[in-house]
Structures are given as C-alpha cells and as structure tokens.
Amino acid sequence: MQYMKEKKQLVVSAIKDGTVIDHIPAKLLFKVISILGLDHIQNQVTFGSNLESKKLGSKAIIKVSGIFFPKEDIDRIALVAPQAKINVIKDYSVVEKKTVEVPDTIEGIVKCVNPVCITNNEDVRTKFEVIDKDPVKLKCHYCEKITNQNNMVIISSS
C-alpha cells in the first residue's frame, strides 16, 4: 500500500517483480550499481538520483526487475550504504521490507587492504571478522590486518 501511495510522486517508474533499493545516499548511487554488477546485467534497471529525502537530504533509488538479491549482495549494500532500505516487489506490491545490516563476518566480498596478504597473492576467498560496524572495521581472518571504511574495496558481484 505504502508503495502504491509513493508511486504517484516517483520519477522512476514502478516494477512488477524485483527489488527496489531505496534511501541510497545520492553520491553512492554508482558505487552501489557497480558493486552489485548492475552495469552488466540483462535485466531492466531503472534508477533516479538527487531525489529529495527528508532523512538524507538527497537520495537515490534503484529498481531492478526480476532480481531478488542473495545475502551476499545485501551484505555488499550494507558495507557501502548502511542506510539503504530494500523492498521486495511481487506483482507491483511490496511483499518484504528489509533494512540492511553489516553482518558479524564478511566472506568473499571485500578485498584485504594488505598487499602482502595471502588473499591478494593466491586464489583464496577473503574472510573478515567485523570488529566495528559504524564506521566499518574488518579484521582479516588470514593476515589479521584491519581494513576500514576508508580503504575498503568491494569485490563486485559477477
């Protein structure tokens, strides 16, 4: 219902089935698109940026048809835009609303900041323990070095 009411004001058209990522800080829009690999999928993707938002001042929204993001992708969003809200749409209605949350462990989606870490030199899936969630601080399971929000590189979804 909420979704239908909002629809009137939206500049980005509604989707039938898929996922809406809302409340993305406007400046992070293209980063979110890139980490989710939305720049090279065949599905219909619509987005809007610099939309008015009471909370964020200026927000962005992405709508992806026919895709329901797995946990890994939700974790990717949480690391980049923890304020984002995920709405799962089926037959034009919101069937599920999710807030994203940084999990306690992060696997395979972040690069370790340490150039001499084994994960940057051999084919080893990265793994981190989350030691702080805001701002995010990750401790590498292998080299034990800290990767933080400022030097975090996300491995894009393929």
Stretch that binds another protein, among 74-82, 88-96, 136-144, 150-158 (CB under 8 A): 136-144
Range 67-126, binding another protein (CB under 8 A): 112, 114, 116-119, 121-124
- Binding footprint of another protein, residue count (CB under 8 A): 16
Spatial CA neighbour of 129 closest among 115, 142, 116, 118: 142
Q: Work out how close the CB of 120 gets to another protein at its nearest, in angstroms, rounded to a whole number.
A: 9
Q: Work out how close the CB of 142 gets to another protein at its nearest, in angstroms, rounded to a whole number.
A: 3
Token pair of 75 as six digits: 């974790």
Range 137-156, binding another protein (CB under 8 A): 140-145
- Which residues does 113 contact at the CB level (< 8 Å), separation at least 6? 145, 146, 147, 148, 151, 152, 153
Token pair of 142 as six digits: 């292998």
Dist. CA 101–CA 123, nearest whole Å: 28
Q: Work out how close the CB of 124 gets to another protein at its nearest, in angstroms, rounded to a whole number.
A: 6
Task: Name the residues that contact another protein, by CB under 8 A.
Answer: 112, 114, 116-119, 121-124, 140-145
